[in-house]
């Protein structure tokens, strides 16, 4: 029996099902849980979705209001399905529910998945768990309707940055299939990528105001202070993406973004073509990839800037 | 004989071919001309591409350097192919070349196309001319290679705003096919949508600095003065997209962007859900669509702001 057949059999015999996902759920986590929930409801399964903390930005997905933020202690489920989580740990509060269920299924696309379910369908080639959900639904003979498609498309869009990276030919093939159900892809795109807040926009404006080009335009540098964050009443994560504004300027190879936090500075680096910023981060006990890395510097703004710039300059020399 | 068969026959018998496109060519115009050029070169046709003025941003497309900016007066072509242009007028300098050619083919996706060629393949259902080029190449039996795919994908991406709107199921199907050739879609995306200049970024920062929310956050308003444009040495078009930063703030229904030009103000409006901004524009002899419109006001900044805001407020009342 194939894994997909085993999943079908397990779901067929389950009387009550609960779907869980990882903490800090993103669009793929929410999209896959809600999309799969709609699918199971269509074949008249008694199915709940448990996500204790969820960002309001996902409220455009059908079924958002059905998400349970609490499960009574004495409630028992025949089957728990974990979606988009690579291990038990990442399930957070959902872990106890998963461990208590009589049977478990894991569906995921992370290569690091620990196959912690009784049945595991982990296709790491897929760009998103939602892409794997399409395969599972097909194997179960459940036709994807508009509700499911809206959720599943959201997950695919999230994990590919709007079909920008991490895309396989099947990603497009599946996207076309979902589109045929009549979903409004412009609306989904807007909800996932465009909606922002005044505080976030203002913080960006402040960073642009301070943005400067150095080393004949090869380095872009800007910063945000604790005072700025207080002034605009910013929330956690509002600084994300600012570093890309420097990186996107033509001629820039490395973009530096410094963010003051409790007296020290968090440094984000992005590069375009040839500087391996993970090497610079490694010098300061940080981490990352060749084109995106970060670390912390416990020094003044000017010292931090000088330190980072001189490291980048020495990388330039090596090339 | 079908149109596609007629195109194949005409190209087969042509000894020299020139491809032209519309003035101010965008990614679909350049992508389709270069993509089709590569296709015709593959079947060993003698083919030129004429684009007198072209934005450097498209230099990432293979074949960019082969584009001719001038054609000798005495040069004669058997066949002229017009891509992505709805009429003769829009061909600009290319019009004379088109009119002089012995035979002509028009391939386009604009519903307004005037079928001005001897043979016309106008499929207005397609999101881009590049999408139609895929069909034409298939009908001619030319397999799409990586070079062609890179150009054609660029056009599809441009005319759908990165698969955001105006997408058909076939758009995705074709995108998947192009991806199979091994093109680097992240690189194409970046070149088309992310690359910017310091001047453009600074202008955005200035506009964000001045951005204010009015009417309980339902209206976002900002402006750019002639002085800003001089300060940052901005080029034509650098203000584009600024109006969307206001529109993307949650709770905002109408975003206003005022831009000073020769003493008067150009007003751009965007709405999200229910205000028909084309009605407001019509009151001031402007034009546009329900969610995006523009007009001019020959008054001071404060007067212009007050005028626009009071018009929007009266639209709010009607809802």
Give residue A262's pLDDT: 87
Residue percentage of chain A with pLDDT more than 70: 100
Encode pLDDT of B104-163 as tens digits: 999 999 999 999 999 999 999 999 999 999 999 999 999 999 999 999 999 999 999 999
Is the pLDDT reported for residue A67 higher than 90? yes
Encode pLDDT of A138-149 as tens digits: 999 999 999 999
Give residue A147's pLDDT: 98
Q: Which residues pair with B196 in a beta bridge?
A: A249
Q: Beta strands of A9-129 (E only): which ranges?
A: 17-21, 47-50, 79-83, 103-108, 119-122
Helix B146-159 × helix B129-139 angle, to 10°: 150
Residue A175 domain boundaries: 3-194
End-to-end CA distance of chain B: 55
Distance CA B260, CA A211 (A): 24
Contact partners, residue B197, CB within 8 Å, separation at least 6: A249, A250, B235, B238
Nearest alpha carbon to residue B171 among B182, B160, B183: B160
Are A38 and A174 in a shared domain?
yes
Residue percentage of chain B with pLDDT more than 90: 94
Give residue B317's pLDDT: 87
The alpha-carbon gap from A71 to the nearest alpha carbon of chain B, in Å, equals 31
Residue percentage of chain B with pLDDT more than 70: 100
Contact B172 A176 (CB under 8 A): yes
Question: pLDDT band at B47, cuts 50/70/90?
Answer: very high
Q: Which residue is it, tokens 């999230």?
A: A158
Question: pLDDT band at B236, cuts 50/70/90?
Answer: confident
B69-79: average pLDDT: 94
Are B187 and B203 in a shared domain?
no
Q: Are B211 and B222 in contact (CB under 8 A)?
A: yes
Q: Are B103 and B118 in contact (CB under 8 A)?
A: yes
CA atoms within 13 A on the CB side of A232: 25
Encode pLDDT of A164-178 as tens digits: 999 999 999 999 999
Encode pLDDT of A6-23 as tens digits: 999 999 999 999 999 999
A118-129: average pLDDT: 96
Question: A40-48 long-range contacts, Cβ below 8 Å, gap at least 24?
Answer: A40/A11, A42/A142, A42/A145, A42/A148, A43/A140, A43/A142, A45/A11, A45/A14, A45/A17, A46/A15, A46/A16, A46/A17, A47/A16, A47/A17, A47/A18, A47/A19, A48/A16, A48/A17, A48/A18, A48/A19, A48/A77
Is the pLDDT reported for residue B319 higher than 80? no
Are A55 and A142 in a shared domain?
yes
Query: Taking CA atoms, what residue in B is nearest to A214?
Result: B198
Are A190 and A229 in a shared domain?
no
Reported pTM: 0.89
Are A253 and A308 in a shared domain?
yes
Is the pLDDT reported for residue A119 higher than 80? yes
Domain boundary among A128, A162, A194: A194
Encode pLDDT of B275-296 as tens digits: 999 999 999 999 988 999 999 9
Give residue A154's pLDDT: 98
Give residue B36's pLDDT: 98
CATH number (domain holding residue A253): 3.10.310.30
Are A39 and A137 in a shared domain?
yes
Q: Are B292 and B270 in contact (CB under 8 A)?
A: yes
Are A40 and A159 in a shared domain?
yes
Distance CA B267, CA B260 (A): 9
Domain boundary among A166, A194, A222: A194
Number of domains composing chain B: 2
CATH number (domain holding residue B111): 3.90.1640.10
Are A100 and A223 in a shared domain?
no
Domain boundary among B143, B170, B194: B194
Of B172, B186, B201, the CB nearest to A245: B201
Which positions in chain B touch A164 (Cβ < 8 Å)? 162, 185-186, 189
Is the pLDDT reported for residue A248 higher than 80? yes
B52-59: average pLDDT: 93
Structure tokens at B243: 């109006």
Which positions in chain A touch B198 (Cβ < 8 Å)? 211, 213, 217, 249
Are A83 and A143 in a shared domain?
yes
Give residue A237's pLDDT: 86
Q: Please indicate if any CB of chain B lies within 8 Å of the CB of A72.
A: no
Is the pLDDT reported for residue A319 higher than 80? no
Q: Please indicate if any CB of chain B lies within 8 Å of the CB of A197.
A: yes
Encode pLDDT of A258-317 as tens digits: 999 888 999 999 999 999 999 999 999 999 889 999 999 999 999 999 999 999 999 998
Are B103 and B230 in a shared domain?
no
Q: Beta strands of chain B (E only): which ranges?
A: 16-21, 46-50, 79-83, 103-108, 119-122, 212-214, 219-224, 254-261, 264-271, 287-288, 292-297
Q: Please indicate if any CB of chain B lies within 8 Å of the CB of A244.
A: yes
Give the H or E element holding residue A257.
Answer: strand A254-261
Contact A201 B208 (CB under 8 A): yes
Nearest alpha carbon to residue B193 among A277, A244, A169, A172: A244
Are B47 and B66 in a shared domain?
yes
Give residue A17's pLDDT: 98
Sign of CA dihedral A34, A39, A41, A45: negative
Q: Are A140 and A7 in contact (CB under 8 A)?
A: yes
Is the pLDDT reported for residue B237 higher than 90? no
Are B126 and B203 in a shared domain?
no
């Amino acid at each position: 029996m194939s894994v997909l057949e085993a999943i079908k059999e397990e779901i067929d015999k389950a009387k009550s099902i609960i779907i869980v996902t990882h903490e800090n759920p993103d669009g793929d986590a929410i999209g896959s849980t809600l999309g799969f929930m709609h699918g199971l409801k269509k074949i008249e399964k008694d199915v709940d979705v448990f996500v204790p903390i969820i960002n309001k930005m996902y409220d455009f997905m059908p079924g958002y209001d059905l998400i349970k933020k609490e499960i009574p202690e004495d409630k028992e489920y025949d089957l728990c399905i974990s979606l988009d989580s690579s291990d038990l740990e990442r399930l957070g509060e959902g872990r106890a529910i998963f461990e208590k269920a009589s049977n478990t299924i894991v569906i995921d696309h992370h290569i690091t998945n620990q196959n912690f379910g009784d049945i595991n369908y982990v296709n790491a080639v897929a760009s998103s768990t939602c892409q794997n959900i399409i395969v599972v639904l097909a194997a179960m003979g459940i036709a994807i309707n508009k509700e499911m498609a809206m959720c599943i498309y959201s997950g695919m869009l999230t994990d590919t940055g709007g079909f920008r990276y991490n895309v396989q030919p099947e990603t497009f093939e599946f996207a076309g299939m979902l589109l045929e159900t009549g979903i409004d892809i412009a609306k989904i795109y807007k909800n996932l990528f465009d909606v922002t807040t005044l505080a976030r926009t203002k913080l960006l404006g402040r960073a642009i105001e301070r943005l400067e080009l150095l080393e004949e335009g090869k380095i872009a540098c800007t910063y945000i202070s604790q005072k700025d964050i207080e002034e605009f009443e910013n929330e956690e994560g509002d600084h994300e993406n600012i570093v890309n504004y420097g990186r996107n300027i033509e001629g820039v190879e490395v973009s530096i973004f410094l963010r003051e936090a409790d007296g020290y500075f968090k440094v984000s680096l992005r590069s375009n073509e040839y500087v391996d910023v993970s090497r610079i981060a490694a010098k300061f006990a940080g981490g990352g990839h060749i084109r995106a890395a970060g670390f912390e510097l416990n020094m003044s703004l000017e010292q931090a800037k000088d330190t980072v710039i001189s490291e980048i300059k020495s990388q330039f020399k090596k090339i």
